Structure 1
């Protein structure tokens, strides 16, 4: 039986969480936020034009560093672990694939829709006040970059019920087919560049599949020497592909659209998660660490979605003042990064207080029925209309406006989650126990 946590009058709060997964997620999010503070570097030129430079990404020494610290695959591995176990629990309670899709989309789209609406309103107001359209475009494209992750993560999660069924029947064949699709797209992307965006689905679904293996402990039980060998071997293969000139050695270049190098990093990071699990579990078992991770994980998507828009807005506003700003890459610029990070955290706190609740699970009385499958599918299609537009034509002010309308329409189509399906996910009640593999799930709505 999965242990449960209780509070007051014996009311169950939620299934026991795996602190290793919480630590992995927090590490990924913190690293992304810190890295972005060292990348955003807008420059105001004497003629009034504004350009943006990726200061950290342009440093030659950073290329081998980002090889180690490119943690986006790890986030999808963790998503595969939690998603698979959540799907199994939902099925045991009588839920369907469309119930799962409805819950996932609502959890992600509600905070994203509000962000898009406020970004569109703010940038449109700035344009009406006379801000140069070039600056508006720069802010729109930069601040909206986290949305690519939302689209990729949502695509992987929407395919999770199907991939879980395939995993149960033929796990290695499923992973091999996904890997073959990734390689095929990589081979054809030179002749047809737009085709590369198919790997936003194939690649991240393959990485998510690695999380399935970790969640299903009876199928993956390598010893520590074998795990170390997997880490070494995947990085050697990756190094060979880079040395042959087939892929860039810069993992930021390989990220969007993604390619096979991210899958190899995912294999390495999944093995590392198992290898270092004992130490991470000991750290995560400390009471103060669990409390901190509980607070930090509660609004993780809000932090991810908002941190770059806030950073871009702060940097853009500073350009309009006489505040002295060091040139990107200089010693003064680097020394100023901790102050930028502290300022960003200060801006995030009120945002979390106001908008963090949107990330909480939306429920309704138990009498509310599940949404029709057609409504759930229509919501998924509506969401990816602006996503496809942004991928092909770039993120513009018009796309932000259209995205706001599409995301809002999707939320309306999805309605609210019937409480009967999620009674065991944090509102009390009892449900079927989860298995206890080496990495158990942090059950998500």
Structure 2
């Protein structure tokens, strides 16, 4: 755990940046973006219909690769580390559970609300202009794909204050109960498939809980042999479950809805994060790396939310042109992936310039009261109505518009965060509305 810096008079200031968490988050995001450029592959069939072919998801040789590179558990482990530290700092400044929920939702849904609104407006105009409905549907699907992560991450973060309290009283029991719930849902999903969606909460909360242990124990809570043993043991158990036929060996299949395999990967990745922490810390301390990661970390949610809609839009629009469309998985298709990635980065740059600041939390004067608990709870409900509908029934153009309206209403309900609850503020002084250098985006209020 990174110790806080102290002023000369003994006053506690901000904690130093945890460069390892910065690197972990950037690595996860970069890998997800690159992987999605190798998965989205729309096909225009001879009869005029459009289908979407998931190239990597249907390649058997890729299963052992994605076993190693399925980094979504690592993202939730990192979220657990920074989340529990943020919660403890907020409580020290007099904040409560609803203040924490307000801050977390604002960070996530402000950029999402704008994305959904612009997507709805653009696709509605495209439909009126006579664009093929299947192309519009493909783009709608691209807008909906990031929503599952938004729902899962929000569920884990909004439950964090309760889980942090339970962790403080009985850490191992809390993790054991969450793990038991994951296993119970997996056992029942064959007879009641709808129950599988409960693991969107139980599974990711359990993985987040691993981050609590790392936040409590410091960077080397276990020896190198013990950490290597956890990595080996969790993967051996995972391999046994796959060999017995209880779970698929394809970690993309296991992702939605999630199951026990991702918790085992979470143990492995949490241990790997600790095992390689000294080397990662040295690499992250390099001036060039430090500056680049600090900038990228402040706009990570915008990149995540926008990259798939932009990729789907680019792919869909290309179907309307005579531009060569090699079949997915062919040599020409693979050679074109770097060009697709470069084009996507080019599209992301103006988006980051226009909408990146939406990730910053709006603050009100220090004298402003906290939002009423009822408003915060209502905002959470308003958010989850369209998200749950999209997860269970699929995203439609109408639901995209409804979701944008619900997210906008939630932003209004949440309002602004009082300055006293923002990192850098305290009695008798006020700080910036967001952590500033040398702080990182992972040091959050």
- TM-score w.r.t. the length of structure 1 is 0.93
Partner of 2:80: 80
Partner of 2:381: 381
RMSD: 2.0
Which one of the candidate residues 1, 4, 23 is aligned to 1:2? 4
Q: How does 1:92-131 map to 2 (within 5 A)?
A: 92-131=92-131
Partner of 2:261: 261
Runs of 5+ in structure 2 lacking a partner?
432-439
Q: 1:138 Cα shift? A: 2.1
SS in 1 for 2:43: strand
- Structure 1 residues 131 and 335: CA distance shift in structure 2, 3 A: same
Q: How does 1:136-285 map to 2 (within 5 A)?
A: 136-217=136-217, 221-285=221-285
Q: Distance in 2 between matches of 1:25 and 1:85?
A: 16
Contact 1:425–1:444, Cα closer than 8 Å, also in 2 = no
Contact 2:297–2:441, Cα closer than 8 Å, also in 1 = no
- Structure 1 residues 441 and 77: CA distance shift in structure 2, 3 A: farther
Is it true that 1:49 corresponds to 2:49 in the alignment?
yes
Q: 1:14 Cα shift? A: 5.6
- Structure 1 residues 210 and 400: CA distance shift in structure 2, 3 A: same
Contact 1:43–1:52, Cα closer than 8 Å, also in 2 = yes
Q: Distance in 2 between matches of 1:121 and 1:205?
A: 35
SS in 2 for 1:254: helix
SS in 1 for 2:321: coil
- Structure 1 residues 441 and 46: CA distance shift in structure 2, 3 A: closer
Partner of 1:31: 31
Q: Distance in 2 between matches of 1:421 and 1:364?
A: 10
The one-character-per-residue Cα deviations of 1:122-181 (angstroms, maximum 9, x if unpaired) are 111111111222222222113320111011000000000000000000000000000000
Contact 2:95–2:421, Cα closer than 8 Å, also in 1 = yes
SS in 2 for 1:216: helix
How many residue pairs were aligned? 430
Runs of 5+ in structure 1 lacking a partner?
6-11, 431-439
Q: 1:192 Cα shift? A: 1.1
The one-character-per-residue Cα deviations of 1:291-319 (angstroms, maximum 9, x if unpaired) are 00111101000000000000000111111
Partner of 2:318: 318
